[in-house]
């Protein structure tokens, strides 16, 4: 039995037992180590001493009703205040039970600092990818517009070249082919012969 109690005290998760009013009755060594607290700083105190105002609101609006009605809470994410003043995220799973007419709530905590960091990194990467995709789409649209403008300019240039060729081969006053045109025409006939 001592071996089992020692394993619970040093389990890879935090463990607390609360009474139905939220008073901390017991806490394991792992949780104490994570929080940077001692037994006397927690035992007999309300669980809310570990919560910020926002987390107190979450605790009162979700934890109490859920534990009362469903007799269990699963995967509630809370940030708990540590001795150094920093708050760290935890996943809380809890179960209500009755023993000798007294109602207790066992709570298991898993620290999720790394998970929160990974999620932040994933969100940042996702927003970066979305931003890059928007930039790519904008660049593609600009490229299409530029391509269309180039095609228009190329058509204008072809028409201008045709007009220029016509101007260089036709006399403006008479509208008949000029000497230059006739020389080019004769040269092309003689080169074929």
Confidence of residue 115 (pLDDT cuts 50, 70, 90): low
pLDDT bracket for residue 181 (50, 70, 90): confident
Q: pTM value?
A: 0.60
CATH match of 2-111 with 1.20.1440.60? no
The pLDDT tens digits of the residues spanning 38-84 come to: 999 999 999 999 998 889 998 899 999 999 999 999 999 999 999 98
So where are the chain's domains?
A: 2-111, 118-192
Contact 59, 77 (CB under 8 A): no
- pLDDT of 123 reads 82
For 118-177, write each residue's pLDDT tens digit. Answer: 677 778 878 888 888 888 898 889 889 888 999 999 999 889 888 888 877 787 778 787
Spatial strand order of the sheet with 14-19 comes to 24-27, 14-19, 102-111, 87-99, 72-81
Structural element, H or E, at residue 104 = strand 102-111
pLDDT of residue 1: 55
């Amino acid at each position: 039995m001592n071996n089992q109690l020692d394993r619970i005290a040093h389990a890879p998760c935090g463990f607390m037992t609360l009474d139905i009013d939220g008073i901390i009755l017991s806490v394991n060594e792992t949780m104490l180590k994570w929080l940077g607290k001692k037994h006397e700083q927690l035992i007999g105190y309300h669980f809310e001493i570990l919560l910020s105002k926002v987390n107190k609101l979450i605790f009162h609006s979700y934890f109490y009703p859920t534990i009362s009605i469903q007799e269990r809470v699963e995967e509630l994410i809370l940030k708990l205040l540590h001795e150094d003043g920093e708050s760290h995220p935890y996943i809380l799973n809890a179960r209500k039970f009755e023993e000798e007419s007294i109602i207790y709530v066992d709570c298991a905590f898993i620290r999720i600092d790394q998970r929160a960091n990974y999620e932040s990194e994933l969100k940042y990467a996702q927003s970066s990818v979305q931003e890059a995709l928007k930039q790519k789409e904008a660049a593609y649209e600009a490229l299409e517009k530029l391509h269309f403008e180039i095609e228009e300019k190329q058509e204008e240039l072809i028409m201008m070249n045709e007009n220029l060729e016509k101007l260089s081969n036709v006399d403006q006053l008479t509208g008949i082919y000029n000497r230059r045109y006739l020389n080019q025409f004769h040269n092309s006939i003689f080169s074929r012969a």
